[in-house]
Amino acid sequence: AQSVTQLDSQVPVFEEAPVELRCNYSSSVSVYLFWYVQYPNQGLQLLLKYLSGSTLVKGINGFEAEFNKSQTSFHLRKPSVHISDTAEYFCAVRMDTGRRALTFGSGTRLQVQP
């Protein structure tokens, strides 16, 4: 079975500052990794995904994430955040074969302050 740990439940940051949202996973098999964003009263939207290949993955809205297999991490970063980035961010994992369902972390609320 897989599990995902998002180490920070809330991350306050000032506008235009860089941010890193941490995600660690546990799995006995190879996995695919995802970051989703959820704005208030909206569904989850895919930010980026790691399937294979380059460990640095670029997504929408200027976000990127780096897959680190040795540390079983998939941290999300953005060099300069905007007020509009305020949202809940979820890291998720699924096996690369077999079971298709995603396992989500508990989420990190990014609060961008002016």
- Which residue lies nearer to another protein by CB, 55 or 80? 55
Classify burial at 36, counting beta carbons within 10 Å of its beta carbon; exposed 0-12, middle 13-18, buried 19 or more.
buried
- In angstroms, what is the minimal distance from the CB of 73 to another protein? 17
Residues forming contacts to another protein in the complex (CB under 8 A) are 4, 6, 9, 32, 34, 36, 41-46, 49, 51, 90, 92, 96-97, 99-107
We find the least distance from the C-beta atom of residue 19 to another protein, in angstroms, to be 19
User: What are the structure tokens assigned to 70, written together?
Assistant: 């040795």
Residue 15 or 32 having the CB closest to another protein: 32
Cα distances (angstroms) measured from residue 20 to each of 12, 41, 66, 101: 11, 24, 11, 26
